[in-house]
Amino acid sequence: MILSEGRKMILDIFSDTDRKYNYDKDLTQSAENIKLQLQGTYARFNEATDPLIIEALIYRMKELETQYSFLIKKAKLERLCGEIDSKDDFR
């Protein structure tokens, strides 16, 4: 089956090659990786003209924004838990 250029681009946008994260390994590195992907997606969005590509990029941006938000919340929680564990008052 021959796919149109637009459909190939949509499949490329949602490929799994850049989604293999180990969030527990290094939150900072994962967040930076997602931030770079998000910047690239914004750039592609600004240049897109095909309505299907634009729609796909909107979904991709929302996905990356949600992942980034998750990592930030997780990092804050881990920092908070680390501060509580280090205080003798709470033991």
- What pLDDT does 78 receive? 77
CA distances from 38 to 24, 35, 67 (A): 20, 5, 10
Q: Average pLDDT for residues 2-30, to the nearest whole number?
A: 60
The model's pTM: 0.65
The full 3-state SS of 53-88, as one line of letters, equals HHHHHHHHHHHHHHHHHHHHHHHHHHHHHHHHHCCH
Q: Which of 40, 38, 26, 44 lies closest to 65, judged by CA?
A: 38
Helices (H) and strands (E) counted in the chain, each on its own, are 3, 0
In terms of pLDDT, which residue wins out, 25 or 35? Answer: 35
Residue 66 has pLDDT above 90, yes or no: yes
